Structure 1
Amino acid sequence: RIGKHARLEYEIITKSGEHKWVFELGRLTEDDPPILEGIILDFSHYKELEQSRIYENERIPLTGLLNRSALKRQMEEDKQNPEIQESALISINFTPLYESVSRLNHSYVEDLLVQIGSILAQFKSETAWVYGPIDYSFAIYLSSYPSRSGLEALGTQIIGLVGNLLSSEHVGWGVGIIEIDWSEEPEIDELLHQVIQASDLASKTHSGRPAIRFYERVISELIHRESSILRELSSIVEAVDDDRLYLNYQPVVSVQTNEIVGFEALARLMSNELGLVGPSEFISIAEKYRLIIPLGYQILTKALRFQKRLEERGCADYWVSVNLSAFQLLEPGFANVVQSLMAEEGTNPEAIVFEHTESGAYSSLTAVNSVLKTLQGFGSRIALDDFGVGYSSLARESELNVDYVKIDKLFSDQIIKLGADRSVLGDVIKMIHKVDRITIVEGVEEERQLDYLKQNGCILYQGFLYSKPVSEEAALRLCT
């Protein structure tokens, strides 16, 4: 407008071909015709500083790749750009990898992430950007893409390249993809959440191999799978005794004598529709829909009957351990029902060990501790499972009424990955012994791990070195 000041900044190309950023402050005079008067300043240096700050603020120092803020900014720009109709977002989810090793050696995880970032960086282009790690995932955002089959081919290429690096880690990871139609005005945060859902499902395939999942397939797959498992669990509860829910048994072995002292009962579900379903999946569904109480009693009954068969084979000294959910421990009257079941099956309570996880105990420590003490009063023993997963505190564990502490496989893996000299497992064993608990190390697969346990005074162990979990009949054959 005439008489009003205008402020503009824009990029120009000088006569010599040099790019410059200029700031213009001017106004139109009231002359007839109006005259534009004002000043034009070269502020290229300040613009460079601004771009540098943006660059630094939007980069992840570890990998040099763009961060979540940069991803959201780019997506927001494309959302507002009428020339961009469809885009795609790919999430490469490494949460299981991070959970399996991060608590043991942070620098090892960082090295892996740097290498993964270098591999993924090769997919950068004028219309594709690479981000991460963001919440244990990397992302590739494409402003445009040729076709769904092209996205699937890109996912397959990512799996091939990254898979070569992670072939020795033996943990799940996966690729999630979401196709974006900007005409539908989607929310950026919701898109980020949805692609993580897709990659999370892809990382949990039971084959153990990385998979590709498109988002719209994920929802129907998840709903159908959960409904199917819930339906079967409900029918198992109604049937009381159903072969679809069965137990495998893994020996617990003396470190010094290499002789079996007991078995851990491990629940399995053979679905008519889905095949073998992992315990972490069906137990969480059972807990969600409060079926864990009746299912837990069925599992306990099967374990008690197995212990009776051991006794009949002349192996009365072998104990059987059963995993308990926090929901079971907090169920009113739970200890009384357990006592009744043991009496009904003619089980010696001293031959039963009850296992529970530390996370389950922390939410209601006083109530859980009271139930554990009651079970100990029957003559049974208590094992704290998965020690070292999560935020463990030995001082906190010493408050619990437990007899055994089962040290998670993460620590025994450390012997292989880092070497005996750098492993902290020996220190953990010594600390547990100082609070008068018996140590059981899980996941022992090689002789050098067993040698390490002998040298560091561990009492008991479990693992494939002696035996994988086996059927009830196979476990009975191990009874000597």
Structure 2
Amino acid sequence: MSIEHGVMRELEHALQERDRALDLSKRHLLLAERIIDCSPEGIMITDPEGIIQSVNPAFVRLTGFESEEVIGKSPSILSSGRHDEQFYRDMWSKIHRDGYWQGEIWNRRKNCEIYPELLTITAIHDENGELTHYASLFSDISSLKENEERIKHLAYYDPLTALPNRRLFHDRLSMAIAHAHRSSSRLAVMFIDLDRFKLINDSLGHKVGDELLKEVSKRLTQTVREDDTVARMGGDEFVFILSEIDDEEDAVASAHRVIEAITMPIVIDGNELVVTCSIGISVYPTDGESNELLLQNADTAMYRSKDLGRNSYQLYSPTMNARSLEHLVMESGLRSGLENGEFEVFYQPLVDAESQQVKGAEALLRWHHKEMGMIAPSDFIPLAEDTGLIIPIGEWVLRSACQQLKRWSALGLSEFKLAVNISVRQFQTLGFIDVAKKIIEEEGVDPASLAFEITESMLMDDVIDSIKRLTAIREMGVTISLDDFGTGYSSLAYLKRFPINTLKIDRMFINDISSERNEGAIVAALISLAHSMDLNVVAEGVEQKCQLEYLRSEGCDTIQGYYFGQPVTADDFEQQFLQ
């Protein structure tokens, strides 16, 4: 009896263990089913022959097909027709070799709409290693693709005028030169600069200036042939590529059409404006056989046109001086300006979007020329870059900003951040990191209170080296802000690799935010993109309350612009914003 009793107890225990295992298995299975049913990703299970066995609710929502419409059928019911046989052969070859495949694919919904997916296919095997199923997980990435296309458009087109930008211009000029070389034909580069545009901007405001640039862009586009290119290089500078011209007279005729079109009165906000332009022309192959030389010589001819009275054109000649008289005066002044104390750092407030409290400032260089008066940074910074004088000037700005930051820190300011612009030449100089670190240490400021503003275009010349330099800056404790974001475009893949803290949205996108729906959509996309990468967002050029309210509604972190304050001297900044 005792033996039988022991056997019964063991049997009873074994049955209990079995029941517990079955119960646990059922609960795991139920949990897995709930996870599949609740997953936001579409899930499709097929047998080894590729026949659909089951789908989850997200599959139904994303494709529009009910489960009974697809179960027992091939996944080819979703095929968009966009991929060739080789695409699928490569995909299945990887699945058979590695057990999975992941990538982007275009599929078709029930309503025939074609859409992009991020798809993962995994081979499922049993405990004996036998293939039992394939599991496909996918998500609709239409919104991501739309944002990528929108950002990609910003890479090659000027957001204000919709004309090709500098990058696209160089791409097209390279292609035009290659074609001209093969066909032994000629082409012309025509550099156009609006005369005294700065006066219009300063007297009537940036809004009128931008509207003027838009109208000028339309008129320029109407003066050229369909195969020619009109690009905006920045500011009030435009460039033409005139392909397959017979001789210089064709370019001259085009210059006459441009001058005639631009000088016709333009009415903006009740102001009748008459604008003139100066044009320089270089011809391939006579005046150069490379992008750089053709553009440089057209620019030289344009400055010669300005020297001779403006509102005219000049064909490039080797005898022309490489710089206009104005540039020569400025270059000479730059060399002595630092020693003579003609430079000064102004400060513009950075304001928290929610609290609307000043949280920092951007240091901005100003030049009081002893003869020419106040010179705009856009006029002398490029010249300083070209001559290399930006190196000592940039070091002086950083040291001056650190000294001012130390004085303000002594007032008891907490978490106050000072942003300093770093030029291309500075950033690419071999000893820049060491020099910056030395200045910060000598002036005794907290590196965490500093931010270096770097334009995205300067990072793309040598991505690997840029990442190393940015990493070194971060290791110093200084944060990094990507300035003028959207105007130069670094691909999303590279952008994720750059160790940056902040994106600054260029004022061009902010300007028409109240009246242009597309501008608002672009700004919203940029803010969303930045926040998805855990980056702070600064919007610059904010001048109106409606712009501020829109940016706050979209979650922008920091505001900069005339709405809160113009760049002012250190003393005025302290009186206006720190007391």
In the superposition, the TM-score normalised over structure 2's length comes to: 0.52
* Cα deviation, residue 378, structure 1: 2.1
* Cα deviation, residue 243, structure 1: 2.5
> In 2, Cα distance between the equivalents of 1:283 and 1:421?
29
Q: Which moved more, 1:225-234 or 1:246-255?
A: 225-234
The answer to whether the Cα contact below 8 Å between 1:407 and 1:442 also exists between their aligned partners in 2 is yes
For the pair 1:223 / 2:318, whether they are aligned, the reply is: no
1:479 aligns with 578
2:501 aligns with 403
The answer to whether the Cα contact below 8 Å between 2:300 and 2:323 also exists between their aligned partners in 1 is no
Residues 230-273 of structure 1 show CA distances to partners (whole Å, capped at 9, x for unaligned) of 22222245x3xx43111111111111111111100011122223
Amino acid at match of 1:387: F
Q: Which of 499, 505, 525 is equivalent to 1:427? A: 525
Name the CA shift for 1:110/1:337 in 2 (closer, same or farther; >3 Å).
closer
For the pair 1:246 / 2:246, whether they are aligned, the reply is: no
2:545 aligns with 447
* Cα deviation, residue 315, structure 1: 2.2
Name the CA shift for 1:162/1:221 in 2 (closer, same or farther; >3 Å).
farther
* Cα deviation, residue 425, structure 1: 0.8
The answer to whether the Cα contact below 8 Å between 2:345 and 2:569 also exists between their aligned partners in 1 is yes
**Aligned length in residues:** 352
> In 2, Cα distance between the equivalents of 1:224 and 1:109?
26
* Cα deviation, residue 354, structure 1: 0.7
1:176 aligns with 278
SS at match of 2:547: helix
* Cα deviation, residue 445, structure 1: 0.8
The answer to whether the Cα contact below 8 Å between 1:409 and 1:441 also exists between their aligned partners in 2 is yes
> In 1, Cα distance between the equivalents of 2:556 and 2:305?
34
> In 2, Cα distance between the equivalents of 1:96 and 1:386?
24
Name the CA shift for 1:389/1:156 in 2 (closer, same or farther; >3 Å).
closer
The answer to whether the Cα contact below 8 Å between 1:269 and 1:277 also exists between their aligned partners in 2 is yes
SS at match of 2:503: strand
1:337 aligns with 435
> In 1, Cα distance between the equivalents of 2:306 and 2:497?
35
Residues 161-197 of structure 1 show CA distances to partners (whole Å, capped at 9, x for unaligned) of 3432698999x97422689xxxxxx999769989964
The answer to whether the Cα contact below 8 Å between 2:280 and 2:305 also exists between their aligned partners in 1 is no
2:366 aligns with 268
SS at match of 2:347: strand
Q: Which runs of 5+ in 1 are unaligned?
A: 1-61, 63-68, 70-89, 98-107, 121-129, 144-152, 180-185
Residues 77-108 of structure 1 show CA distances to partners (whole Å, capped at 9, x for unaligned) of xxxxxxxxxxxxx98657999xxxxxxxxxx9
> In 2, Cα distance between the equivalents of 1:380 and 1:430?
24
> In 1, Cα distance between the equivalents of 2:305 and 2:533?
38
For the pair 1:135 / 2:230, whether they are aligned, the reply is: yes
Amino acid at match of 1:328: Q
* Cα deviation, residue 421, structure 1: 8.3
* Cα deviation, residue 156, structure 1: 9.2
Residues 397-435 of structure 1 show CA distances to partners (whole Å, capped at 9, x for unaligned) of 121111111111121124134147853211110011101
2:516 aligns with 418
Q: How does 1:71-82 map to 2 (within 5 A)?
A: none
Name the CA shift for 1:228/1:385 in 2 (closer, same or farther; >3 Å).
same
> In 2, Cα distance between the equivalents of 1:232 and 1:115?
37
For the pair 1:163 / 2:262, whether they are aligned, the reply is: no
Name the CA shift for 1:188/1:282 in 2 (closer, same or farther; >3 Å).
same
For the pair 1:304 / 2:304, whether they are aligned, the reply is: no
For the pair 1:466 / 2:556, whether they are aligned, the reply is: no
SS at match of 2:365: strand
Amino acid at match of 1:135: V
For the pair 1:377 / 2:475, whether they are aligned, the reply is: yes
> In 2, Cα distance between the equivalents of 1:244 and 1:438?
35
Q: Which of 233, 252, 264 is equivalent to 2:334? A: 233
Identity in percent = 26
Q: Which of 212, 215, 222 is equivalent to 2:311? A: 212
SS at match of 2:521: coil
> In 2, Cα distance between the equivalents of 1:382 and 1:447?
28
> In 2, Cα distance between the equivalents of 1:169 and 1:309?
48
> In 1, Cα distance between the equivalents of 2:366 and 2:519?
37
2:416 aligns with 318
SS at match of 2:409: helix
The answer to whether the Cα contact below 8 Å between 1:202 and 1:213 also exists between their aligned partners in 2 is no
SS at match of 2:525: helix
The answer to whether the Cα contact below 8 Å between 1:176 and 1:195 also exists between their aligned partners in 2 is no
Amino acid at match of 1:251: P
Root-mean-square deviation (Å):
4.6
* Cα deviation, residue 316, structure 1: 4.1
Q: How does 1:80-119 map to 2 (within 5 A)?
A: 113-114=217-218
* Cα deviation, residue 443, structure 1: 0.9
Query: Which one scores higher on RCO, CA 8 angstroms, separation ≥ 6?
Result: 1
> In 2, Cα distance between the equivalents of 1:308 and 1:198?
44
> In 2, Cα distance between the equivalents of 1:424 and 1:197?
33
* Cα deviation, residue 471, structure 1: 1.3
Amino acid at match of 1:212: N
Name the CA shift for 1:177/1:399 in 2 (closer, same or farther; >3 Å).
closer
* Cα deviation, residue 453, structure 1: 0.7
Name the CA shift for 1:174/1:160 in 2 (closer, same or farther; >3 Å).
closer
Q: Which of 391, 395, 398 is equivalent to 2:489? A: 391
Residues 370-389 of structure 1 show CA distances to partners (whole Å, capped at 9, x for unaligned) of 22222222221111111001
> In 1, Cα distance between the equivalents of 2:387 and 2:280?
30
> In 2, Cα distance between the equivalents of 1:259 and 1:251?
9
SS at match of 2:324: helix
> In 1, Cα distance between the equivalents of 2:481 and 2:521?
23
> In 1, Cα distance between the equivalents of 2:447 and 2:414?
12
In the superposition, the TM-score normalised over structure 1's length comes to: 0.61
SS at match of 2:441: helix
> In 2, Cα distance between the equivalents of 1:332 and 1:195?
30
Amino acid at match of 1:339: K
The answer to whether the Cα contact below 8 Å between 2:364 and 2:420 also exists between their aligned partners in 1 is yes
2:391 aligns with 293
> In 2, Cα distance between the equivalents of 1:467 and 1:421?
23
Name the CA shift for 1:167/1:389 in 2 (closer, same or farther; >3 Å).
farther
Q: Which runs of 5+ in 2 are unaligned?
A: 1-162, 164-175, 177-189, 198-211, 232-238, 250-255, 289-293
The answer to whether the Cα contact below 8 Å between 1:446 and 1:465 also exists between their aligned partners in 2 is yes
Name the CA shift for 1:177/1:359 in 2 (closer, same or farther; >3 Å).
closer
| Rg (Cα) greater in structure | 2
Name the CA shift for 1:193/1:284 in 2 (closer, same or farther; >3 Å).
closer
The answer to whether the Cα contact below 8 Å between 2:219 and 2:262 also exists between their aligned partners in 1 is no
Residues 36-60 of structure 1 show CA distances to partners (whole Å, capped at 9, x for unaligned) of xxxxxxxxxxxxxxxxxxxxxxxxx
Amino acid at match of 2:264: L
Amino acid at match of 1:451: E
Amino acid at match of 1:437: L
Amino acid at match of 1:235: S
The answer to whether the Cα contact below 8 Å between 1:409 and 1:442 also exists between their aligned partners in 2 is yes
